[in-house]
Structure 1
Amino acid sequence: MAVQVSITNWAFWCGPNDHANLKYGTPGLLQSSKTGIGKADLAGGLKPAWKRRLDLYGRAAAEVLTRTLRTDDNPYIVFASRHGNIERTVKLLHQVITNEALSPADFGMSVHNAFVGIASINWSITESHTAVAAGPDSLIAGMTEAICQINDTNLPVILCYIDLPLPAVYRHLEHGDQTGTALAVRFEPLSDASQSNSYTAEFGTTSETPRISAPLEAERFAKFLESGLAKHTLSGTNGCWTVTKND
């Protein structure tokens, strides 16, 4: 399966919650790079009432999504995360086992697509959205959904991926050091964008690229878009996406 698309904008956030890095731009062009970003600095595009409801997870996702949206935009959104808002989920589980009253706010915001629902309301996005969770393949599964949607609808699609490190109680399940990571990539039909940003996205069943964690995969994909290099492969359990810049 090969699909011709345009990648017009990207944004990437990573790091500890009080000293993270934020980059965004267009393919081959870094428009801004900021360091020392704290939670209070994120999600400036949200109305205060919505921003107050979000913790670091939601604010980091909102920040990268904001950088790929346009005025009067109405894109399809694919939201991908392996663990979702795990901090809120663990908090709810603790309240259950200690017989405390469950927090309605935490319960509502722990739902996997809660953030993208808030984003839709905040930016008046009426196009539908999809929330994806596919274990270690959550990023590549989100990529698959985004490519299929743009191929089917011929409308702009934004892929938004985020995962934060697991809470201490689950930290032993992670392999290697993990850091908070959020990535947003805007795909558009070629007819609606400059040919200079056109790519061929092709799915294959095998890959020579070693499997890595989704957060590291997101970081490498962001570096690929920043650099303007010609080719990059995202690998998953059952296949891979190879993204090649068209001449």
Structure 2
Amino acid sequence: MIEFSVVDWAAWAPGLTTRSDWQAWARAPWPPEGEGTPGLSEVPAMQRRRIERLGRMAIQAACWCEPEQGADSTVPLIFASRHGDVERSMELLRSLVADEALSPTTFGLSVHNAIGALYSITRGHRGNNLALAAGKATVEAACLEAVGLLADGAAEVRIIAYDPPLPELYAEFIDEPAPYYAWCWRIAAASPEGTRLRLAWRGDTAQDDPPGPLPHALDLHRFLLSGKRHDERVIDGQRWSWQRVG
């Protein structure tokens, strides 16, 4: 079992661009949809051109969640995404099928840590930077990693969770809704500041819970905002239990 506090948050998804949008959404959630892309004014235009839609969402949420005094170049960051920027990978696969030369730039930006690297470059971040994927339980794994970093002496950790829809080619493997979204939590040691959460887990042979209207990672952001006291989900033989403390 672990405990921690979420001292601040930020998020971006199509149709959900302000804190009030997200707070209203948490009371009556729906899968985000639309063609919008964040402006990402925090990043110079020359660098912004290299960042695709998913990366802009993730980096926008991370920028908005920076402390008011500005970006901390040493705070540990965990970029948590189940699928990553899969469209860039698809572009490479299409080139292979067409027997075309692969773009080194597309390859470099398709790897799972590329969005975190782009954030570090554009914001001058020099601290610990992790890219993590753990299936549906990606956020739970990120929180475990974050608490470990806090125990190692970090004052806080930022988790940036994000995912896109999967291409039609992977339709038979889609096991939960997959809209575009990105959110960021600022995690600190458990205290009265912010929202204090407890996460426990144990093995469970029950079947996975059926998917709801939201991907699990986005549903956890809804849990944070909604004020709900408890949430539980069985994922791949593990029962994860979330509880609001205090």
> What is the SS of the residue equivalent to 1:10?
strand
In structure 1, the partner of 2:29 is none
How many residues align structurally?
Answer: 236
- TM (norm. structure 2) is 0.80
Partner Cα separation in structure 2 for residue 152 and residue 206 of structure 1: 30
Q: Which amino acid aligns with 2:17?
A: L
Q: Name the residue aligned to 1:50.
A: 47
Question: For residues 166 and 35 of structure 1, what CA distance do their matches in structure 2 show?
Answer: 14
Q: Answer yes or no: is the 8 Å Cα contact 1:46–1:122 preserved in 2.
A: yes
Residue aligned with 1:244, SS: strand
Residue 198 of structure 2, aligned match among 178, 197, 200? 200
Aligned to 2:12: 13
Return the alpha-carbon distance in structure 2 between the equivalents of residues 9 and 225 of structure 1. Answer: 11
Conserved in 2, the CA contact under 8 Å of 1:22 and 1:35? no
RMSD of equivalent CA atoms: 3.2
**Deviation (angstroms), 1:149:** 2.3
**Residue 194 of structure 1, CA deviation:** 4.7
Q: Is 1:113–2:113 an aligned residue pair? A: yes
User: Quick one: which of 14, 24, 38 aligns to 2:36?
Assistant: 38
Whole-Å separation in 2 of the counterparts to 1:35 and 1:83: 18
The question of whether the paired residues in 2 share the 8 Å contact of 1:10 and 1:222 is answered with no
1:225 corresponds to 2:220: no
Cα distance in 2 for partners of 1:121, 1:167 equals: 28
What are the equivalent positions in structure 2 for 1:114-133 lying under 5 Å apart?
114-133=114-133
The CA deviation string for residues 172-208 of structure 1, in whole angstroms up to 9 with x for no partner, is 3213653122222110124xx6535333333333499
Give the deviation of 1:88 after TM superposition. Answer: 0.7
1:4 and 1:199 in contact (8 A); partners too: yes
Structure 1 counterpart of 2:2:
3
1:158 offset after TM fit, Å?
A: 1.2
Displacement, 1:240? 4.1
SS at match of 1:210: coil
DSSP-derived class of the 1:223 partner: helix
C-alpha displacement of 1:128: 0.8
Query: Structure 2 regions of 5+ residues with no counterpart?
Result: 27-31
Distance 1:214 1:62, change over 3 A: farther
Q: Look up the match of 2:93.
A: 93
**Would you say the 8 A contact 1:21–1:37 is kept in 2?**
no
- Percent identical: 25
Q: Letter of the aligned partner of 1:200 in structure 2?
A: R
For normalisation by structure 1, the TM-score amounts to 0.80
Q: Does structure 2 retain, via aligned residues, the 8 Å contact 1:11–1:222?
A: no
Gaps of 5+ in 1: none
Q: Which deviations, in whole Å up to 9, do the C-alpha atoms of 1:80-136 show, x marking residues without a partner? A: 222221111111111122121222221111011011011112222221111112233
Q: Quick one: which of 34, 56, 62 aligns to 1:59?
A: 56
Q: Secondary structure of the equivalent of 2:152? A: helix
Tell whether the 8 Å contact from 1:11 to 1:183 is kept in structure 2 after alignment.
yes
- Look up the SS of the partner of 2:41 in the other structure: coil
